[in-house]
Amino acid sequence: MVLKIGLLTNSLTAVGWDLEQIAAWSSEHGINHLEVGPAVPLDLELFERIQNKYDVTVNALIYCRNFLSNDAEEAKHHIEQLKR
């Protein structure tokens, strides 16, 4: 078994980077796996283009939001978005 550590894209989309910028930076710095968060569109063609252009692999799709929020409306919103 091989452990593949990925860069969580949310950490850079929060400062305005798109997937192309993140992939370029990651590849330049020897980070070859990306954990794509909800700020990046779920676009298979985009993922394939990025993976072919840079030395990176999209190894996980994540949706890290507060499903257990004390605010029932917030929790409901995140649960609906996850299902969508």
DSSP state of 9: T
What's residue 67's pLDDT? Answer: 81
What's residue 45's pLDDT? Answer: 96
Structure tokens that stand for 61 in this block = 């799709």
**Buried-state track 52-83, b at ≥16 Cβ within 10 A, e below 16:** eebebebeeeeeebeeeeeeeeeeeebeeeee
Give the helix ranges, DSSP H, for the chain: 10-13, 19-28, 44-53, 72-83
pLDDT band at 82 (very low <50, low <70, confident <90, very high): confident
Please determine, for residue 64, whether its predicted confidence score (pLDDT) is greater than 80. no
pLDDT in tens, 6-56: 899 988 998 999 999 999 999 999 999 999 988 898 899 999 999 999 999
What's residue 44's pLDDT? Answer: 93
What's residue 49's pLDDT? Answer: 97
What's residue 73's pLDDT? Answer: 93
